[in-house]
Amino acid sequence: MTDEPIPTAYSPTWSADSRTSPPRVVDERATLAAFLDWHRATFELKCDGLGSDQLSARTVPPSSLSLHGVLRHLAGVEGWWFARQFAGQSSWPPGSTPLYTYDDDPDADFDDLDGDVEEAFRVWRAACERSRAIVAQAESLDALGTTVSGEPFSLRWLMVHMIAEYARHNGQSDLLRERIDGATGA
């Protein structure tokens, strides 16, 4: 045991923070699922309380990033990795219209912000639910998917990849949100 003082000052959290902390003593699959859900909830928290114009604002020039664009990107990423490449399904959730297409513009999710922000949230939430169902139906973390280029990957790899994807975009979202209204928090 060390004699170092225990810190009492931590980064502030959002006042409306309703995230569930990932459990500390569970198996690997539950740990990965809980951390991925925590990151999903973190992104949603960064967007909470903002109007459509604020969510679509590009506040860190020269970057074209906006919270709306990140939302659209994450909806597509959920579908692309879990549904398309792991489960062999359509990238977009059943009953939804694609939010964008990469056919002409590889950055369309960030650049072309036509469309309703609420629709983007609905599609993203549906994509997250579908991803959770795909994970729940998989036999194990060793279950394999295949990239469009034919490379195999495990569900374990995919979940770690998605945690990293959300962590990167949550960091960007911190900066975007702070520039919009000064809100900060862990």
Q: 88 — alpha (psi -120 to 50), left (phi > 0) or beta? A: left
Domains and CATH numbers, the chain: 28-180 (1.20.120.450)
Residue owning tokens 């990239």 = 147
- Residue 144: beta bridge partners? 154
SS3 at position 146: strand
Q: What is the pLDDT along the chain (186 residues), one digit of tens a residue?
A: 567 876 665 566 666 788 888 989 999 999 999 999 999 999 999 999 999 999 999 999 999 999 999 999 999 999 999 999 999 998 887 777 777 776 777 788 888 787 789 999 999 999 999 999 999 999 999 999 999 899 999 999 999 999 999 999 999 999 999 999 998 876
pLDDT for 31: 97
Give CA–CA dist 34/84, Å, rounded.
Answer: 22
The predicted structure's pLDDT at residue 85? 95
